[in-house]
Amino acid sequence: MRQITVSNIEIDVEKKAIKNLHLGVYPPNGRVRIAAPLRVNDESIRLFAISKLSWIKKQQRSFAAQERETEREFISGESHYFNGRRYLMNIIPTTGKATVVLRYKYIDLYVKPGSSRKHKASVVAKFYRNYLNEQIPPLLAKWEKKMKVKVNEYWIKQMKTKWGTCNIEVKRIWVNLELAKKPLPCLEYIVVHEMVHLLERHHNDTFVAYIDKFLPRWKTLKSELNKSPVSHVDWEY
């Protein structure tokens, strides 16, 4: 992948075996990417980008105005998100096992007195991971039956540039741990998106036709995902 600059905007350009030019502006920072057919020359790509400048800037302004979390300190009274809802953190000293308990509008974090921020963050991350491990298998089973594909395995990890990804060769999908903070339908959208790659590798017209067929409201879910509060760590999709 290489970059071009148009009107002081850096644009990632990737050439693929596709039929048409595809333009995307991605949250949270408005990164711009053009996927171009192998046969299209650099000047044509540049002219295409220039013709879309107004739309690109509009999307970037929208992302710039998006609500963002500051870096979490894991202290009492701090806001944390889970399954699309905002909770207030309540640190509760304990000599027992560190754990997280949801209580009405609170996320109670039980940790030993003097626990470091890193330790508290790891306890919450484990809570998020356990939640995703409960939700993902039923989603896979549901959509494997509908799509007639098979996912051999899935993994959950912190990712800095994507909500999810798919290794087509081994039929493995990766899901961003951050999705535990988002509404459950957003998690389903990402799972479906990655599973569609088992039917079509590229983000081309065929891919869009598949996701339109299986999840007609995917654009609404994508919009909801991108409008929900963005973590201090930058995620893109």
pLDDT band at 66 (very low <50, low <70, confident <90, very high): low
* Neighbour tally for 93: CB within 10 Å: 10
* Residue 74 lies inside a defined structural domain of this protein: no
Q: 11 and 98: one domain?
A: no
End-to-end CA distance of the chain: give it in Å, rounded: 17
The residue segments making up the domain with residue 11 are: 2-64
Query: Taking 90 as the threshold, does the pLDDT of residue 58 lie above it?
Result: no
Q: Is residue 84, in this structure, part of any structural domain at all?
A: yes
Give this prediction's pTM.
0.74
Residues 43 and 136 in one domain: no
Q: Of 25, 61, 62, whose CA–CA distance to 227 is shortest?
A: 62
Q: Give the mean pLDDT of the chain.
A: 89
Please state, in angstroms and rounded to a whole number, the distance separating the CA atoms of residues 136 and 134: 6
- Return d(Cα 216, Cα 214) in angstroms, integer: 6
Domain count, the chain: 2
Does residue 124 lie within any of the structural domains?
yes
The pLDDT, as a whole number, for residue 234 is 37
> Is the same domain home to 169 and 94?
yes
- Whether residues 166 and 95 share a domain: the answer is yes
Q: Once rounded to an integer, what is the mean pLDDT over residues 72-85?
A: 93
Both 24 and 125 in one domain: the answer is no
Same domain assignment for residues 221 and 121: yes
Check whether residue 116 and residue 189 sit in a common domain. Answer: yes
- Residues 51 and 99 reside in one and the same domain: no
Residue with tokens 């995307």: 24
The verdict on residue 161 lying in a domain is: yes
Instruction: Say yes or no to pLDDT of 231 above 60.
Output: no
Asked which of 17, 34, 64 is the last residue of a domain, the reply is: 64
Question: How many H helices and E strands in the chain?
Answer: 6, 11
Q: Evaluate the CA torsion angle 152, 194, 81, 83 in order and state its sign.
A: negative
Is the per-residue pLDDT at 124 higher than 60?
yes
Q: Are 29 and 16 in contact (CB under 8 A)?
A: no
> What pLDDT is stored for residue 79 in this prediction?
92
pLDDT over 70 (residue 63): no
203-214 tens-digit pLDDT? 888 999 999 999
Question: Are 30 and 127 contained in the same domain?
Answer: no
Q: Say yes or no: 46 and 88 in one domain.
A: no
Last residue of a domain, one of 64, 92, 117: 64
Do residue 98 and residue 43 come from a single domain?
A: no
C-beta atoms surrounding 36 within 10 Å? 20
**Structure token pair of residue 17:** 């075996």
Complete DSSP assignment for 9-27: EEEEEEEES-SS-EEEEET
